[in-house]
Amino acid sequence: MLHIIIFINIAAFSLGLSAVSVSLRLYRLYRYKYLLAYFYYLLFLNLGSLAGLIFCYYSTNLQENLTTYQYNTYLIIDIFAVYFPMMACTYAFIILTTSIVEKVLPKILKYLYFIAFGLFLLIYFYGLKEFIKSESMQLFLLNHTIESIFILSVTMVAIIQILFNARKLQNSAKQKAVKIFAFLYLLIYTIICICFFLPRTANTISNSLLFLSLNIVPILYLRRYLQRSYWDILAEPEREKMINGLYAKHNISKREKEVIYLIL
């Protein structure tokens, strides 16, 4: 069973490399903040999954030769290597979900998020100290559970705020596209939340498949929409700034501006 999980994770990570590449190309082409945030979201998501894949491989192939202490040490490293990139991934997702509806994340929320990040980090190192002293894993496992709940809760709230704020977008085409984007992620993360309460093996398989889904969205949906509806998805202030910059750079005359406007 674990070998099947490893195979799914390898496929998901391979697709993830393509998703990261696609998101970076989209940002370089369109130069929008939410696309940069999307790139970092996918980058940290796949870094965390890579760490989980490595641990899954070791636990599958080397578990029989490991002592309990060695296995727990690998688990501690895995928790650090997976969940702290996931905290960074979640922060990037928050920036993505606010900027895609043309909002700015309030500073107080940024501070609160980094305070939570710092607390998880302190608990991790305190748990490491306890593990060295008494080989106790209780604090690690508790921190792991709380952090997972925190990440899922923040992500779900971020997705819901997309649906709430999308109604305020003036461009109907962009409003529709953003809502579809939000519903795709709402579906995936709702299933992840449900799988969180399943037995470990079923949870691991489900999350591997869902991770595969998270990497499909930017390739099959976002790129297609941007290519077909480039001007619809752009925010007006940013579009005007981009056009005016091009006019100034190339010394475009008033009449030439009119022609360009009609073409666009």
First to last CA, the chain: 54
Q: Would you put residue 75 in left (φ > 0), alpha (ψ -120 to 50) or beta?
A: alpha
pLDDT at 76 over 50: yes
Buried b (16+ CB within 10 A) or exposed e, 57-85: bbbeeeeeeeeeeeebebbbebbbbbbbb
pLDDT at 236 over 60: no
**Average pLDDT of the residues in 45-53:** 81
Note the pLDDT tens digit of each residue in 28-45: 877 778 889 989 998 998
Q: Give the residue with greater pLDDT, 55 vs 235.
A: 55
Note the pLDDT tens digit of each residue in 97-152: 998 888 888 999 999 999 999 998 888 888 888 777 777 778 877 888 888 889 88
The pLDDT, as a whole number, for residue 230 is 46
**Average pLDDT of the residues in 185-189:** 88
